[in-house]
Amino acid sequence: MQNLTNVSINTNSNKRLSVIIKVCVVVPLFCVFFFCIVVMLHIFASHRQFLDTSRYILFASMLINDTLQVMFSVLLFLLVMVQVNFALGLCFPLMFISAATFRNTPFILATMSLERYVAIFYPLQRPAIWCSDQIWVIILVLWLLSCMFPIIESSIGQRDPAVFTFSTPVLCQLPAVNSSLNQALFRIAVDVLSFAVVAFIIIVTYVRILVETRKMRQDNVSVSKATHTVLLHGFQLLLCMLAFTSPITEMLIVLRKEWPPEDIVFFNYFCFILIPRFLSPLIYGFRDQSLRSYIGKTFLALPTKLNKLSEVN
């Protein structure tokens, strides 16, 4: 009996240690990511030339979208890690925002690729919708489209009559909100279709820019920048699509009996959802020469501002 008690205590202790390690890995990484995003958004808000360019407006919308996605994803992760149960009605908004922002990222990437295409081929006759003062209309349409799919997915599910939406405490995970087979099939169909369409747009845009601009014999520097930008969007899309590899990795990892299920879930979450979301906006932001110069100036001026604040206090 004593041995069973010791085994139980050791198991609980190992689980607590595992949770602490996971939290200590995710939270500092999120803080660094959030700080970098705040710096970029501050630069956009402080310099008018960025707000007068459609490309940077779209990039700023992607920063906001990915920040919301990561923020709610990390929040859901922490709630699951500490096993917090709360009303199903409160879980719906968290899952809704996480799902909508997840699907919005590839839509923004496709739009940014199309914006580069329009800027290259129609520099003087650019349609009004692609101008900086009206690009918000496209951004609004993307958000409405991204929010529409989670609403439809939630509406086609079959609810358990014994579950009271605003009173039943649940662990806020996808199976607790959308658990029916119809919802799973709809979610897979939407993900595959949307990512396939976005990949097609990015590939066609990249090829057209690469081929047509060489025929037109435009400035090689601008052509090179445009093709590299669209290629980067393809790489960002590839990072986003890593989330769909989690079922494959789960099947492979399950073969290793010593891996607990919760560790498998964390491995997939960290490697295929969290890291790509961290890298995607940071790669694009630090690659841009104009934005990178302002980021460098902001970081160099940061110690001076902190010293002034400390002196005032």
> Does some domain include residue 312?
no
- Tokens (6 digits) for 17: 């240690």
Number of domains in the chain: 1
Q: How far is CA 190 from CA 8, 50, 83, in A?
A: 44, 33, 30
d(CA 54, CA 116): 10
* Amino acid of residue 257: K
In a domain, 219, yes or no: yes
pLDDT band at 208 (very low <50, low <70, confident <90, very high): confident
Residues facing residue 169 across a β-bridge: 87
Highest-scoring range by mean pLDDT, 169-178, 189-198, 286-295: 189-198
Asked if residue 313 is part of any domain, the answer here is: no
Rounded to whole angstroms, how far apart are CA atoms 91 and 146?
19
Q: Is residue 188 part of a domain?
A: yes
Q: Looking at the domain assignment, is residue 298 inside a domain?
A: yes
DSSP 313: -
Residue 106 lies in a domain: yes
Q: How confident is the model at residue 1 (pLDDT cuts 50, 70, 90)?
A: very low
pLDDT at 147: 93
Per-residue confidence (pLDDT) for residue 184, from 0 to 100:
78
| Residue 115 maps to a domain | yes
pLDDT at residue 4, as a whole number: 41
Q: How confident is the model at residue 5 (pLDDT cuts 50, 70, 90)?
A: very low
What's the domain range around 197? Answer: 2-307
Q: What is the CATH number of the domain that holds 109?
A: 1.20.1070.10
- Domain contains 37: yes
The residue type of 116 is: R
How much is the pLDDT for 193?
A: 86
Grade residue 68 by pLDDT with cuts at 50, 70 and 90.
very high
Residue 12 has pLDDT above 70, yes or no: no
